[in-house]
Structure 1
Amino acid sequence: MTLRAATLTAPVALPERTKTRVLDLVRRHGPQTAQDLAARLDVSIPAARRHLGDLLDQGLLEARVEKPGGRGRPQHVFALTERGEAAFPNTSSGLCADVLRHLRELFGQGAVLQVLDARNQALGEQIRAELAGAATLGERVEQLAVQLTALGFEATSHRDPSLHEDGAGGEVWYITQSHCPHLSVARQYQELCASELTLYSDLLGVAVTRESRMACGQGCCRYRVAALPT
């Protein structure tokens, strides 16, 4: 192993206890404001800001400006950097990335896609059984979010209250994932995100488009689910 490779894979030491809690909250719930974290930690906002400042200085968090739900007044939120994510090592993700890399090197890009397709088929059968009792699109979307959360994606669903129609009159829903258990792999293999998008569309039986993507540095993965009238 080269010195460079050892440096890249070396684990990041976790900071003191409260700061570790801050990092864990951001990891589990997605980008947070200082107010959000103060409430979750039961500390004052100035105390939360001090911890955030230290974590920013250590390169474990980054600050960005976002609009709540894509609308409203912009606010400062804090998200994990790659260094921050490395504080919570996921050996299975590292193994997965290595396997996909070797597949690509040995058998070409098509082999990677075949593996992901096979994974989706098995995962789809499992989730489809849970969606079987959902009669409406809204029920299917809500149940899919539940299943994704169980898989580690911290997913929520909602119908846009300001938009009840799409084009000629279809309903519109959103699924938001604030955590990705495969983020390090998704950054290296865009095919993983593309295959998940196809899976969601297949499970819901309607068009699904991705509006934001954590693997591209955005704060969450947000999917727009639109059903046009027949």
Structure 2
Amino acid sequence: MKYVGGAAQGAAEEQTTGERRTRNRVARSILDHGPSTAADLAQRLGLTQAAVRRHLDALVAENVVEPRERRVYGQRGRGRPARVFALTDCGRDAFDQAYDALAADALRWIAETAGGGAEGQAAVSAFARARVAAQAERYRAAVEAAAPEDRTRALARALSADGYAATTTTTNSDSGPAGEQLCQHHCPVAHTAEQFPELCEAEAEVFSRLLGTHVQRLATIAHGDGVCTTFVPRAPQAPQNPQGQAAPAAAPQTHTDQATARTSGRNPA
């Protein structure tokens, strides 16, 4: 009987370990893909929706994930939006954010040392631009080597290699401009960016320079959204004459497109 009891205890511990491992897979999938429905998670992980909901209930109880109403950009269709599950701040803390407090303290010191006020903000902005510019140099070769229509995806792959879990989706909407959405499902400095939006603004400016077009930041993790979303408009196609040949290009105009800094790092809603 003693052996049987020990075997039963070992089996229970093994089951608990397996449950925790699967639960971590669920949380990691939300991190990598952004706010997800139970159906999305079941399909990605090869689980039943009932099993996924059981793990989600446990993660909600542990304050790792939280249910939300799915945000809809553009015109909303009929019916109530599907409920999605997103990582909480506590959940994100488990994924490589141990240095957020140190970074925030350093930026606060920079702002205060520069004199505070507008001068302090300018110093923080200069630091943010220098930091992101140095980071972008690692991405430049990959982006420039890609065909123009593939550069947003090349940037997403480079960001993913740095832990941002980035993806792209193509948008073709009658109610708005066509293009791509660059989505970063993880931000290692989300808590710091919440206090210093200059980090988000500098990042958007660098995306604009790397991709050679203006970009618009639609949402950020730092301001409570489930994912950082940047809209990259599609380059207009050259008009064609009746013979199907491209019409002569208009004379180039000298201009500089920069990211929409006023909306970077802010929830437009």
Shorter-chain TM-score tier: 0.7 to 0.9
CA distance change for structure 1 residues 83 and 164 in 2, over 3 Å: closer, same or farther?
Answer: closer
* Per-residue Cα deviation, 1:79-127 (whole angstroms, up to 9, x for no partner): 1111222334522333222211221222222221111111122223332
Whole-Å separation in 1 of the counterparts to 2:200 and 2:68: 23
1:199 alignment counterpart: 206
Specify which of 19, 23, 44 is matched with residue 19 of structure 1. 23
Asked if 1:140 is matched to 2:151, the reply is: yes
Rate the CA distance shift 1:150–1:164 in 2: closer, same or farther, 3 A. farther
- Paired amino acid for 1:152: G
Q: In the alignment, residue 56 of structure 1 is paired with which amino acid? A: V
Structure 1 pair 31–99 and aligned structure 2 pair: CA distance change class (3 A) = same
2:122 paired with 1:110: yes
Cα distance change, pair 228–164 in 1 and its aligned pair in 2 (3 A): farther
Change (3 A) 1:90 1:198: same
Distance change >3 Å, CA 38–CA 210, structure 1 → 2 = same
Matched, 1:214 2:226: no
1:125-164 to structure 2, matched below 5 A, reads 125-136=137-148, 138-162=149-173
Q: How does 1:64-83 map to 2 (within 5 A)?
A: 64-66=68-70, 74-83=81-90
User: Which of 118, 121, 138 is matched with 2:133 structurally?
Assistant: 121
Q: Structure 1 CA distance, aligned partners of 2:124 and 2:63?
A: 33
1:161 positional shift: 3.4
Following superposition, the deviation at residue 135 of structure 1 comes to 4.0
Percent identical across equivalent pairs?
Answer: 39
- 1:178 matched residue in structure 2: 185
Q: Which runs of 5+ in 1 are unaligned?
A: 1-14
Match of 1:60 in 2: 64
Q: CA separation of 1:34/1:165 partners in 2, compared to 1, >3 Å: closer, same or farther?
A: closer
Q: Could you tell me how far 1:227 is from its partner in structure 2? A: 5.0
**Cα deviation 1:118-167 (Å, max 9, x = unaligned):** 1122223332222222342x22222111111112111122332346994x
Give the aligned partner of residue 33 of structure 1: 37
Distance 2:232 2:95 in 1: 32
Kindly indicate whether the alpha-carbon contact (under 8 Å) linking 2:167 and 2:182 is maintained by their aligned counterparts in 1: yes
- Greater strand percent: which structure? 1
TM-score for the superposition, normalised by structure 1: 0.79
Which 10-residue stretch deviates more, 220-229 or 109-118? 220-229
C-alpha deviation, 1:199, in angstroms: 0.7
**CA RMSD across the alignment:** 2.6
Structure 2: 5+ residue stretches without partners:
1-18, 115-119, 237-251, 253-269
- Greater CA radius of gyration, 1 or 2? 2
Distance 1:40 1:141, change over 3 A: closer
Aligned equivalents of 1:16, 1:142: Cα separation in 2: 33
Task: Name the aligned partner's letter for residue 50 of structure 1.
Answer: R
Normalising by structure 2, we get a TM-score of 0.69
Distance 1:27 1:208, change over 3 A: same
